[in-house]
A and B are shown apart, each in its own frame.
Chain A
C-alpha cells in the first residue's frame, strides 16, 4: 500500500466524522427522557391483584369498567409528600364520580400496614390504599421509583403516565383522555 500515513489519516478522519454525526444527531435530545416515560403507555394494563388496608380485594375485576388512577408512593418519599395536595384536590373533585377509582400503592415492603394506615388517616388520604406484597404490582408496572402515577381507561389501556409528583392539571388531563375527551 502506498502512502500508509494518508490512509491512517483518512481512517481517523472517518472515525471523527462518524462520532461528529452521532453527536449532532443527539444534540437537543434529553438523555434521561427514556427514564421518565413508561413503555406501558398505550398498552393493556398489567393485572391488578391487591388487598386494601381494610382487607378488601382490589383487582382488575373489581375495577373493571372504571377509569383507574393508580399511584405508587411511599411514606418516606419527599416528592410523594409534595404531590399529596394535588392528589387530595383531585380526589375531592372525583370521589363521587362512579366511573373513577383511585388506588394508592405503598410498595416499600419494610413499611408496616398499621403504620401506613395511621399515616394515611392523619394525612387525609381517603382513597383506596393497598400494600404491594413482593412488589409484584411495582414490577408489573415497571416503576422506576416513587411517586409514579398511571391512568387506566375503562378499556384497560394505560392512557396516562406521570413520572414524579403529579399535578391536578396533569391528573385532570389524563382523566379526560381516559374518558375519551
Chain B
C-alpha cells in the first residue's frame, strides 16, 4: 500500500464513523419526543414559516395536544401524520412527500450530485490516461540537458 492511499483510507474511516454515529439507534423515543418530532414536521396553519411545534397559535396548540392524545391512545407516528394529511392535505407537511411532483425535490439533488461526481471521475480518469499537456521537443531537450549535468551536480554536493 502506497503512502498516497492513507489519506483516502482515513477519509473513508471518518465517513463510516460519522454515518454510524448519526444512523445508530439511540433507544426508543419517549412519547414527548415522538409528539415533538411529529409536531415539528407539521406546518403551523395560522403563521408563516413555523412548525406546529414552534408556534403558539391556537390551532397549533390544539394540534400539539391532539398529537399527545393520539400517542397516548396507541396510534403510530405515521398514522398520526396521515390523519393530518387527510384533514388538511399534504400542504400541512413541512417536508414534501416522496410522491408526485414533490418527488422532484428529492430526486433532482441526487441526480445533480451523481452527475457531478460521475463527471469528476471521468475527467480525472481521462487525464490520468491521456495527460492533456504533452512535452514539446524543446521540453525533451531541456530534460536531456539537465540529466546530462546531474552527475556533475552530485559531485559538487
Contacts and interface: CB of A to CB of B under 8 A. Distances in A.
Whether A and B are associated in the same complex: the answer reads yes
Nearest to A141: B87
Contacts of A22: 101, 104
B130 to A, nearest CB: 12
Interface stretch (B4-12, B59-67, B131-139): B59-67
Given A4-B122, A4-B123, A144-B45, A11 B111 contact: yes
Given A1-B122, A15-B108, A144-B59, A8 B46 contact: no
A134 interface: yes
A176 B63 CA distance: 33
B112 interface: yes
Contacts of B63: 139
Contact of A35 (B62, B91, B112): B91
Give the secondary structure class of A's interface: helix
Interface string A134-156: 11001100111110000000000
Given A139-B63, A145-B46, A15 B112 contact: yes
A118 to B, nearest CB: 20
A167 to B, nearest CB: 22
A109 B111 CA distance: 49
B25 interface: no
A95 interface: no
A74 B58 contact: yes
Contacts of A83: none
Nearest to A34: B91
Nearest to A144: B45
A12 interface: yes
The 10 lowest CB-CB distance pairs between A and B, nearest first, are A135-B62, A4-B122, A144-B45, A142-B87, A145-B46, A8-B119, A11-B115, A34-B91, A108-B58, A142-B88
